[in-house]
Amino acid sequence: MFGLGAQELMLILLIALVLFGGSKIPDLGRSLGQAIREFKKGVEAPDAVPEPKEAADRAKDAGSAR
């Protein structure tokens, strides 16, 4: 996992604990997990095909002529 050993991971967790405090760590993990889920959902979703500008202008003009 990125070439990190157990000692390095423990050091990173200790620094995070000191910086954010014990009560904020679960909130940070929850928000990180939610961000990862949203990113995956965005990557897996098909891209919407944009409508050509001329067709959109014609449709708008036809709707206003009524």
Residue 19 resides in a domain: yes
Average pLDDT (41-62) is 70
Across the chain, the runs of DSSP E, i.e. the strands, are none
Query: pLDDT tens across 1-39, in order?
Result: 478 888 998 998 899 889 888 888 888 889 999 999 999
pLDDT at position 49 over 80: no
Residue 47 resides in a domain: no
Residue 30 resides in a domain: yes
Which sign, positive or negative, has the C-alpha torsion 28, 31, 34, 36? negative
pLDDT at position 45 over 90: no
Residue 63: predicted pLDDT: 60
Are residues 5 and 13 in contact, defined by beta-carbon separation less than 8 angstroms? no
What single letter denotes the amino acid at residue 10? Answer: M
Residue 26 resides in a domain: yes
For tokens 């157990």, the residue is: 6
pTM of the model: 0.47
Residue 3 resides in a domain: yes
Residue 38: predicted pLDDT: 92
Domain that holds residue 1: 1-41
The domain tally of the chain equals 1
Task: State the Cα–Cα distance between residues 48 and 53, nearest whole angstrom.
Answer: 15
